[in-house]
């Protein structure tokens, strides 16, 4: 059974929803891991800055005369490729006294750097920005260096120690984790698509069965049934459809039985009965009316004879000769023909509602080989259904 449009709509909707949820989840996880790693790197840089600050305070070299010693310390410990990263030592006025990766005398003032401003104010500063000196994006951590035993007054501030690390080194360290997460996300996406496929099949098949059963019922197949388990709305709709099928089958069986009873009753009457439809064609006629109208008798096939029951062969063929034919072509008696067509024309026009149910009587004279037969014909308008 080929999947229909509803199946593909369910699959597409579920697949898109799961893919979006999975993508957002991975994005949040990766972002959280990177933020946590950046915070960890920031803590490591702060520890490095604290270590350098303690060494400077112990050696008492944070003075204009100690620039050479500060440069030696920065060069020995720092560097872009070193464990400690780039080390910069800055005076209180923003002048760079030492740097591990550049010539300090050629560097511009760092008084306006955000991490330096924050460190001078609060004792600690951190920022992530582009470095005009080394032409890279760096993460900076700065610590204020106070005079040993000082009370953190402006006069006790010696300067700022700043440690930095290239951002690409931070992202490289999280790259393996990020790649692993995206691989897991890819496998999860495949599993999500398979799950969406299965859910679409499970949800669409009951609707498909109900649709096929309804189509069969609309085409007149009352044997069509649908089987949907459960107690949800779809299962209740399937049960209602089955109940409607049973109700229709029962009603049609009842109507068919009533038609057969009516036909049998009319055929057993000794009076002639003719029923004409609104289109002027004979709908029903019994044997007595056929005899009165002297329908010619024709040979009866064996199959028809087996179906006749208590109806004579000639009577059955006479009835078949009349049913479906126009009154004008079947009845020669003009008075009887006018009596039947008068009811048909009034039914077509529907101009006189008060005339419905009015009984019309007419004396007739029918010539037979044994003599003239005098009849009394009565006609009444009725509603007749072809169902």
**Maximum separation of any 2 CA atoms in the chain, in Å:** 158
Token pair 């030592």: residue: 89
Q: What is the mean pLDDT of residues 14-19?
A: 88
Name the phi and psi angles at 257, rounded to 5. Answer: -65, -45
Give the model's confidence band at 239: pLDDT under 50 very low, under 70 low, under 90 confident, else very high. confident
Torsion angle defined by CA atoms of residues 31, 32, 37 and 43, in that order, rounded to the nearest 10 degrees: 120
Choice among 28-32, 98-102, 163-167, 372-376 with the minimum mean pLDDT:
372-376
| CA 273 vs CA 262, 280, 289: distances in Å | 12, 16, 6
| CA 91 vs CA 62, 64, 68, 193: distances in Å | 9, 9, 14, 61
Distance of alpha carbon 293 from alpha carbon 322, whole angstroms: 10
- The residue that leads in pLDDT, 167 or 383, is 167
Residue 265: Cβ-neighbour burial (10 angstroms; 0-12, 13-18, 19+): exposed
Q: What angle do CA 108, 109, 114 make, to 5 degrees?
A: 120
Q: Are 344 and 327 in contact (CB under 8 A)?
A: yes
Q: Decide if domain 5-174 falls under CATH 3.20.20.70.
A: no
> Matching CATH topology for 5-174 and 269-380?
yes
Q: Look up residue 193 and give its two tokens.
A: 């698509």
At 352 the pLDDT is 41
pLDDT tens across 249-283, in order?
888 889 889 888 888 888 888 778 888 888 888 88
Distance of alpha carbon 329 from alpha carbon 327, whole angstroms: 5
Name the phi and psi angles at 106, rounded to 5. Answer: -95, -5
DSSP H or E run through 279: none
- Collapsing DSSP states into helix, strand and coil, what is residue 167? helix
Torsion angle defined by CA atoms of residues 352, 357, 358 and 359, in that order, rounded to the nearest 10 degrees: 150
Q: Are 295 and 322 in contact (CB under 8 A)?
A: yes
Q: What is the mean pLDDT of residues 94-121?
A: 91
Distance of alpha carbon 118 from alpha carbon 115, whole angstroms: 5
Domain spans in the chain, listed from the N-terminal domain onward: 5-174, 269-380
Q: Are 102 and 133 in contact (CB under 8 A)?
A: yes
Give the model's confidence band at 298: pLDDT under 50 very low, under 70 low, under 90 confident, else very high. very low
Q: Are 281 and 324 in contact (CB under 8 A)?
A: yes
Q: Are 121 and 144 in contact (CB under 8 A)?
A: no
Q: Are 210 and 226 in contact (CB under 8 A)?
A: yes
Question: Could you say which of 3.40.50, 2.60.40, 3.40.1130, 3.30.450 is the CATH number of the domain covering 269-380?
Answer: 3.30.450
Would you give the distance in Å from CA 65 to the centre of its chain? Answer: 77
Round the CA-based radius of gyration of the chain to a whole number and report it.
52
């Amino acid at each position: 059974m080929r999947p229909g449009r509803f199946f593909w709509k369910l699959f597409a909707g579920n697949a898109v929803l799961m893919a979006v949820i999975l993508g957002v989840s991975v994005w949040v996880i990766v972002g959280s891991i990177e933020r946590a790693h950046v915070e960890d790197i920031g803590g490591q840089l702060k520890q490095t800055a604290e270590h350098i600050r303690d060494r400077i305070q112990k050696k008492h070299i944070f003075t204009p005369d100690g620039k050479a010693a500060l440069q030696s310390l920065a060069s020995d410990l720092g560097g872009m490729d070193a464990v400690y990263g780039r080390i910069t030592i800055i005076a209180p006025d923003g002048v760079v006294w030492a740097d591990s990766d550049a010539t300090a005398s050629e560097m511009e003032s760092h008084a306006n750097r955000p991490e330096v401003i924050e460190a001078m104010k609060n004792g600690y500063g951190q920022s992530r920005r582009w470095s005009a000196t080394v032409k890279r994006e760096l993460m900076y951590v700065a610590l204020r260096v106070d005079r040993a035993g000082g009370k953190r007054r402006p006069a006790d501030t010696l300067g700022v120690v700043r440690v930095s690390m290239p951002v690409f080194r931070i992202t490289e360290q999280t790259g393996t984790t990020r790649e692993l997460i995206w691989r897991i996300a890819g496998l999860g996406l495949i599993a999500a698509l398979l799950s969406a496929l299965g859910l679409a099949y499970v949800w669409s098949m009951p609707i498909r069965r109900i649709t096929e059963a309804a189509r069969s019922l609309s085409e007149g197949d009352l044997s069509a049934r649908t089987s949907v388990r459960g107690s949800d709305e779809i299962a209740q709709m399937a049960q209602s459809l089955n109940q409607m099928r049973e109700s229709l089958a029962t009603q049609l069986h009842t109507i068919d039985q009533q038609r057969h009873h009516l036909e049998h009753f009319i055929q057993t009457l000794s009076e002639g009965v003719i029923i004409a439809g609104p289109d002027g064609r004979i709908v029903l006629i019994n044997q007595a009316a056929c005899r009165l109208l002297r329908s010619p008798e024709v040979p009866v096939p064996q199959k028809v004879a087996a179906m006749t029951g208590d109806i004579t062969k000639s009577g059955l063929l006479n009835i078949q000769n009349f049913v479906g034919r126009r009154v004008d072509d079947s009845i020669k008696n003009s008075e009887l023909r006018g009596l039947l067509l008068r009811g048909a024309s009034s039914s077509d026009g529907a101009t006189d509602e008060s005339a419905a149910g009015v009984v019309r009587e007419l004396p007739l004279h029918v010539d037979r080989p044994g003599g003239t037969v005098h009849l009394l014909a009565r006609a009444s308008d009725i509603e007749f259904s072809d169902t």
